[in-house]
Each structure stands twice: as structure tokens, then as C-alpha cells.
A and B are shown apart, each in its own frame.
Chain A
């Protein structure tokens, strides 16, 4: 029999099973709530994250002023005035604002398929480079050797491949194939006309447009642009925001009558509410866990108080505070270990139960591991704090 067993037997007398059971139950409830909330959040959030590939992802909003019927009739330009832009920039939730620049000239593109040509009118827009989700090689423009790199929306390719090509029996095109197709771009305006080679260098899922580098746009507008239109207000803005679903963002957009491109705003809002609700649930769970931790500390403090005489006798025999405190560590470790295992099991079962319902809403499950890891970190922190509380108390008793 080791002395640890003797001291253990000595010091673990007077343990209140009821108190410790109360702690275990309370902590189990708290931890299970926290872990379930995290897992649920992750599962549901994953469906929003897959949407991040869409027109609006989590951080970007593309805004345009509402086009009125009157504007259509009169042909009046509806753009963002400098005042409107600076007001937008001043909002606390705005990280940065980028302006879409329009081409002030006519653009047409033609493709040569072994003698059979195909030509179409186009439009160009440019956006500051830092707002792009893709950085393809060749995304630069040199006026000395003008070749026009173009980024188009992924949606266009999808529209062609799955809408047009499949219904007409035409071959579907991959991004790689399209990148290799040489284009002839004709620019006309300001009494001039010129043709330059062009190439589609990348596909963006953030912008629903045909984009060219800003440097090209500046150069082309100065050469081919209609000077009367030069410096017109940008018709679209890209805004990087903290959380596009936040109510203040929505309120601002509504009160100014702006339109958000695409209809993903709702998913952002749902994401925002999910974040808020999960936050509340996790807080409730954390508060329960915290209270449970206080029960544990209180229960152990009472136990140590009851054993105070024994503790000081052990000290007189030469026992160190650490070796005495160690007699209590297994209690905490076993209880917390059991609490963690049960809470993890509950989370697993919970995830399995809601998975079926979520699957019908085409939301896939995510891995349990990160949640288990967070739960483990919480229980490890509680265990460590428990140890420290015991050691601190025993040390105090040991002082002469």
C-alpha cells in the first residue's frame, strides 16, 4: 500500500458525494449545451460558407442605386455622388469601398474559329485589384504591348455550360480551355477605333461582370473615352463590411434605396441571427458551467476546511502542499473526465439527431473533432483551475 493511498484514504474522508454529484450534473448540462451549440452552429454555418462562392460572400456587398422607371425614360444617369460615397465610407461597419469604373467607349469582341468568325458587343467594368477574389497570372496591362486581360463571372460560364451548351448539344467548356481562346477586342470612341488581342485570364465568383484591370480602363478611357462622360459617378460600388447581415447595414441600405446585387442578403441575415442565437446559447451554457465550477470549488473548500487539522498534521510530518493537494486531484480528474465523456456523447447523439433534419434542408454535417477539442479545452481549463484552487488553499493552511 503506498503512502499516497494512506493519505488519500485519510484526506478523502468527509467528501460530500451529493455536492460533487451536483457539480458533475451542473457542469454536464453546461458543457453539453456549449458543445451542442458549437456543433450546431458549425453544421448550419457550413451551408452558408458554401454559399460564399456566390455573388455576395460573407464580407462583400455590391451596391447599386435603384433604377427608377423615370430614369429609364429620361436616360438620366443614376450613379453614386461623392457625398453618397463618403457617407457610406463613414459608416462604422464599412471596412473599405471600391468603385466600379465603366468603359466610356464601345467594345466588341470577336473570336476566330478557323475562318468562321463570331462577334459580339461587350461592356467592360473595372474594380480596384484588392477587391478581387482571384489573382490570375497575366492580370496586368502594358500600353506598349497592349493585350487585354479579362476576368468574367463564373456565372456566365455556368450559364453557357449548363444552360446554353447542354440544350443546343454544343461542347461544354472548361476554364482552362477558355483561357486559351484568343479574342480580338475592338475599342471605338472619341473618333478612333483600334483592335487589340485579348484573353480571359480568370473567373470570379464575387463579381457579376466582365472586368478588366483598372490601369487598362484608365488608359482606354483617356484614348477612346467620350470626354463628356468622363468622371461620371460610379454606378456600382463594392463595400467590404464587418457583417453584411447586421441590422444596421440593412437599415442603411433600405433607407438610402440602394440595391444589393444578388439575393444572398437573406442568407447573410440568417447567418447573423444564427450567430446571435448561438452566442446566447453558448453564453447560457458557459454561465451554467461557471456556476458548476464554483460549486466544485466551494465543495472542495468545505472539504479542506473539514480536514484542516489533518492537513496541518501532515504538514508537521513533512508533507509538502503539493503532495497533500495531489490527494484531491484524482477526484476532480475522474469527475471532469466522466463529465466530458458524457457531454461529448450527448453532443454526438444530438448532432446525429439534427443531422437527419438538416439533411432534408440540404445542410451537410461537419466534423465533430473541432467541437470535441473545444469541449476538451474547457474541461481541461476547469480541471486546471480546480487544481490551482486546491493547491492555493492547502498552501495557505501550510503557512506557519
Chain B
């Protein structure tokens, strides 16, 4: 990332949070294989950062480069490919389809990537203790349950980086550990990097590099 700054912070470059940030207006390189924890207070642009990297929003100045290539030049087809093969994302608001069952919510991603068998998905659901909800509509899940289902959905694809925007904000310590174990296991199997954001309840990663936003 090269001197990245959200448009909303323009004109406030010398004020907090930009002045205290290790990301905004700095050059920052995230490498594959490492774990990163982006710690921040609310309102500092966490979700914006995730959206910029995932190509959902372009309201920033500065540049984001993937392997030296500016992502502003990517077209829709390229983004579709990246999102299926290289970049996984758990949005803060989960974005499950409430009218689909838990299983369908995961399958809708998995059929695109053909990454896991249904048995493997059930094992992950079991690991996060939502296996009994497999056929329940996502609309009837608690926020904590939705968070766990959304984590699994983010994992059923090949990736080089997985971006988790506040993945455990509604989870207790035991579930946090279970999610962290699953994410770490999946990431190391793919030799991939984890980027997790948090406002307080940190994902229980082993030895993450902590970046203050």
C-alpha cells in the first residue's frame, strides 16, 4: 500500500486518527504467510481499508498494489477471478443471504470454487458448533452464529490472503479460539496470510504482527 488515505480523511492529514496511524499515508507491505492484526478504534477506517483491498470501494487516494500491479486497473472479470482464487473476505456485516439455509449459504460460495466436499463443510460447522443449524435459514441465526457461518463461507475457497473484518466481535473466548484455530489451520494449509481487524475482541491468533490503524 502506498500512501493510502480514505477520501473522508482528506484535509485531516495532521489530525488523529490519520496522524497516529501506521497505515494511512504510510507505505505498508503485507506478505503472504504472515498473520496481521489491525487494531483500531471505531471510526478509524478499518472497514474502509478492507473494502479498498477487496476492490469494493475506490474512494481513496494513494495506491494499492497486488504483486506490483495497481488494483485500480483491474476489470470486473479480474476481480471475480481474484475473489474466487486469491482473496477471501469476511465482511463485518457478514452478508449472509437470510432466505437461504446455512448450508446453501456456504454452498453458494463452494460451488463457485469447488474447494470442499459437503462432508468437510459439515466438519467445519461441527468444529464451530453450528452443525445443527445446517438446514436453518440464515435469517433465524443469532449474530454470533451468523459470524461463525460467515467465517466458514470465507474459508471454502483457495486464497493467498484472508481478510476478516471483526470476525469474533460477537463471540465468547471459547468460540473465538475455535474460529482462530480453524482460520489458522486453513491459512497455513494454503500458505496464506490472515489479516484480521478488531476494535477490542481480537481474533486469538498465535503470533500476529499488530498494526495500529
Contacts and interface: CB of A to CB of B under 8 A. Distances in A.
A293 B82 CA distance: 37
Contact of B58 (A1, A7, A400): A400
A310 B138 CA distance: 14
Nearest to A394: B76
Interface stretch (B91-99, B177-185, B189-197): B91-99
Given A3-B107, A6-B107, A318-B157, A398 B54 contact: no
B83 A10 contact: no
B97 A399 contact: no
A316 interface: yes
Interface in A1-33: 1-3, 6-7, 9-10, 13
B32 interface: no
B84 interface: yes
Interface centre among B77, B79, B99 (most CB of A within 10 A): B79
A313 B97 contact: yes
Contact of B89 (A1, A2, A6, A316): A316
Contacts of A317: 83, 108-109, 112, 153
B104 interface: yes
B10 interface: no
Q: Is the interface of A mostly helix, strand, loop or mixed?
A: helix
Contacts of B109: 317-318
Nearest to B85: A318
Contacts of A6: 100, 104, 107-108, 111
A388 to B, nearest CB: 16
Given A6-B108, A313-B95, A319-B112, A400 B56 contact: yes
Contacts of B54: 316
Q: Chain A: interface residue count, which band? A: 20 to 34
Given A6-B100, A13-B99, A400-B56, A320 B77 contact: yes
Given A3-B107, A310-B97, A313-B95, A318 B112 contact: yes
B108 A320 contact: no
B80 interface: yes
A400 B79 contact: yes
B111 A3 contact: yes
Contact of B111 (A2, A320, A395, A400): A2
A7 to B, nearest CB: 7
Q: Chain B: interface residue count, which band? A: 20 to 34
Interface in B91-123: 91, 95, 97, 99-100, 104, 107-113
Interface centre among A315, A318, A321 (most CB of B within 10 A): A318
B57 interface: yes
A1 B135 CA distance: 14
B144 interface: no
Nearest to A398: B76
B208 interface: no
Contacts of B55: 400
Contact of B84 (A3, A313, A318): A318
Given A1-B107, A6-B111, 20 more contacts: A3-B107, A6-B104, A6-B108, A7-B108, A13-B99, A310-B97, A313-B97, A314-B108, A316-B91, A317-B83, A317-B112, A318-B83, A318-B109, A318-B113, A318-B157, A320-B76, A320-B77, A321-B76, A399-B76, A400-B79
29 contacts: A1-B107, A6-B104, A6-B107, A6-B111, A9-B100, A10-B97, A10-B99, A10-B100, A13-B99, A310-B97, A313-B97, A315-B80, A316-B54, A316-B95, A317-B83, A318-B81, A318-B83, A318-B84, A318-B112, A318-B113, A319-B80, A319-B112, A320-B77, A320-B80, A321-B76, A395-B76, A399-B76, A400-B57, A400-B79
